Structure 1
Amino acid sequence: MNTATKSKHIGRNISRIRELRGMKQEALAIAIGISQQSISNIEGSEIVDDEKLQKIAEVLGVSAEAIKNYSDETVLNIINNTFSSHDNSTINAINVQPNFNPLDKVVELYERLVLAEKEKVEYLEKLLKGK
């Protein structure tokens, strides 16, 4: 059965969008001034009246039309088409590989520490000779 012949289940769409937003039923209920049980009932309903749908859409940050036309398949297509591992931000986030040898950095820091200590000793010797 393709999506054109399937009837839209508005409650299920609300549930999916709410979950994608990381929102719990209780938070949505508080935001629109009803009980969590009412949200549960709405999400179980195939049809939601326009007034409630509009309030829910505002809280979820989408339009009522977006809720009516929501499709998991569309969301997955958008994610697949917009996510790529070829841009620098995703490469750095997923596959962290330093372009330097960490051991070289340790040696460099050690050499800088030794140099700083030598300079400190020379400075202290000059102070002692000055007295």
Structure 2
Amino acid sequence: MEETVFNKKHLSIGQKVERIRTFRGFKQEYLASKLGVSQQTVSKIEQEEEIEDDLLRQIAEALGVTPEVIKNFDEDKITYIINHQYNIYNNEIKDNATNNFVFNPIEKIAELYERLLTTEREKNELLKNK
């Protein structure tokens, strides 16, 4: 059912890095300095279909996320979360237009995505053990 709510479009791993970098408000120059490469190299990385695991770990660390967040990034789900921000203080959904954030929404998105991944892993473990 969830697949009908969110459009499935393929993003390369490089495009996912670009989207997360943009969501975090970082420029290519920032990521380049964190990785010790040129801005042009970051531009090339963001065009790659795949990125080796070691480099992906470095990128994830520079962006403040895990490699799994990058690999499993889904722009439509993030957009949905932003538009229907979950208020962790009183467990209700609020419209983004009326919600005054008292925290960094990007960090909360990353936290929610991490929790989603953890839940999925736990569910898969339970299914394996049956």
Q: Same fold (TM over 0.5)?
A: yes
CA RMSD of aligned residues (A): 2.2
TM-score (norm 1): 0.59
**Residue of structure 2 in register with 1:54 after alignment:** 57
Instruction: Give unpaired runs (5+ residues) of structure 1.
Output: 91-131
1:79 is displaced (CA, Å) by 1.1
Secondary structure at the counterpart of residue 46 of structure 1: coil
Q: What do residues 25-78 of structure 1 show as CA deviations (whole Å, max 9, x unaligned)?
A: 011000111111110000000100111100000010001010011111010111
1:85 is displaced (CA, Å) by 5.1
Q: What do residues 95-120 of structure 1 show as CA deviations (whole Å, max 9, x unaligned)?
A: xxxxxxxxxxxxxxxxxxxxxxxxxx
**Residue of structure 2 in register with 1:36 after alignment:** 39
Secondary structure at the counterpart of residue 39 of structure 1: helix
Bigger proportion of residues as helix: 1
**Residue of structure 2 in register with 1:13 after alignment:** 16
Higher radius of gyration, 1 or 2:
1
**Residue of structure 1 in register with 2:25 after alignment:** 22
1:39 and 1:50 mapped to 2: Cα distance?
Answer: 16
1:9 and 1:72 mapped to 2: Cα distance?
Answer: 12
**Residue of structure 2 in register with 1:98 after alignment:** none
Aligned length: 86
User: Conserved in 1, the CA contact under 8 Å of 2:85 and 2:95?
Assistant: no
Instruction: Work out which of the residue numbers 67, 78, 83 in structure 2 matches 1:80.
Output: 83
Instruction: Give unpaired runs (5+ residues) of structure 2.
Output: 1-6, 87-93, 101-130
TM-score (norm 2): 0.60
